[in-house]
A = this chain, B = another copy of it.
Amino acid sequence: MTRKDFRIFMMAHPRKIEDIFEDADLARLHALGEVTINRGSSISDEEFNAQARDCHVIMGQFDMPAERLDQCPNLRTIINLEGNFLPNIDYKHCFRKGVRVLSVSHVFAEPVAEIAVGIAIDLGRGISRSDRLMRRREERWGLEANQNALSLYDAKVGFLGFGDLGRALLPLLKPFRTSFKIYDPWIPEMVIEQAGGAAAGMDEVLATSDFVFVLAGATQDNQGFLGAREFGLMRDGAAILLLSRASVVNFPEMLEVARSGRIKIATDVYPDEPLPKDDPTRDVENLLHSPHQAGALTSVLKHIGRGVASDVELVARGLPPMVCKQAQPETAARFRSKPVEQS
């Protein structure tokens, strides 16, 4: 296909093109063909027909029902630029027509994995607690500051969920000589073993781990699967980090446990964000708060553009995309992520 025959349509809203594309990566797209950018926040049928209908690649989070899909004779790939598979697309229709649907969620795996390591060490070694006590003139020193400390070295680590995030986190923990028990009902035991972990049931992971990382995306099947019973299985003094979606946890029960001080808890996600100012959980001593900042780095957003450009280059050459995450017919309908508000 020659350059003039290839057409790309982009509407990044609620992101901004400039936030996710370096100039060099935009230039790569322009080198492939004709690029139309819509900077609005919604697209009318008229605009759609004028700008997107003939394109081979469509990027954006706007509605793509069967009716629109059927008007796109050249369409090969739709790319969500936010980071999740949202219900804006008629996935079944895409699969029937051989249109690939991609998301850029993979770029968030590394920054979340990084902060997961930082938060785990913080829970285990009391970094933010000691800093807080220093400011309150209440700190203790040396050995006494480390009462009940928990080290990652030689620790038993549990993962609930083993997708991109788990795969990014595992190699960061390995140098601490940790062992891994992993629960993910969608992943074969064999895949977990090849990654260096041991497959286990959820209860076993909770009951035997020093550090539990909650990494499971929200699906229709796992709403609130972590509650009082599950936290109750954990060892005294163990740590649990909620890094994926608030909806997988029974939040009030988690806060109850946090208040008890029996286990160490951190969360990056909340049922309502931002958390109301008067929410009393803000003052729970034994809960490390992170205002949904795990994945949302400016520097990471630029990785979106590089990955998208790489995949669109492949698509333009008639090759399958390799960088972005691809929606699968079997699972596309099961995810339950909400659209994010500019994050």
Binding site for B on A (CB under 8 A): 95-96, 98, 110-111, 114-115, 117-122, 125-128, 130-135, 137, 139-143, 145-147, 149, 151-153, 171-172, 174-176, 186-191, 273-275, 277, 282-283, 288-293, 296-301, 306-307, 310-311, 313-314, 318-320, 322-323, 328-331, 340-343
Name the residue of chain B whose CB is nearest to the CB of A277: B137
| Contact indicator A146/B296 (Cβ below 8 Å) | yes
- Picked from B117, B277, B290, B301, the residue with its CB within 8 Å of the CB of A130 is B290
Name the residue of chain B whose CB is nearest to the CB of A284: B135
Neighbouring B residues of A172 by C-beta, 8 Å = 175-176
12 contacts between A and B (CB under 8 A): A111-B153, A127-B290, A130-B290, A131-B288, A134-B289, A137-B282, A142-B273, A142-B292, A147-B298, A175-B175, A186-B319, A191-B322
Name the residue of chain B whose CB is nearest to the CB of A118: B121
| Contact indicator A151/B310 (Cβ below 8 Å) | no
Apart from A114-B153, A141-B293, list 19 A-B contacts with CB within 8 A: A95-B98, A98-B329, A111-B151, A117-B121, A119-B127, A121-B121, A122-B128, A127-B127, A130-B289, A135-B289, A141-B292, A145-B291, A146-B296, A149-B297, A151-B297, A171-B175, A186-B319, A188-B311, A188-B314
- Picked from B174, B190, B283, the residue with its CB within 8 Å of the CB of A175 is B174
- How many monomers of this chain does the complex have? 4
Q: How many whole Å from A337's CB to the nearest CB in chain B?
A: 15
Q: How many whole Å from A179's CB to the nearest CB in chain B?
A: 13
Neighbouring B residues of A313 by C-beta, 8 Å = 188
Neighbouring B residues of A128 by C-beta, 8 Å = 122, 127-128, 131-132
Q: Which 8 A-B pairs have the closest CB atoms?
A: A118-B121, A142-B343, A128-B128, A188-B310, A145-B293, A134-B289, A320-B328, A142-B296
Bound complex: CA A282 to CA B322 (Å) = 41
Name the residue of chain B whose CB is nearest to the CB of A128: B128
Name the residue of chain B whose CB is nearest to the CB of A140: B291
Q: A126-B293, A175-B175, A291-B130 are in contact. Are A330 and B310 (CB under 8 A)?
A: no
Q: How many whole Å from A19's CB to the nearest CB in chain B?
A: 8
Bound complex: CA A175 to CA B121 (Å) = 16
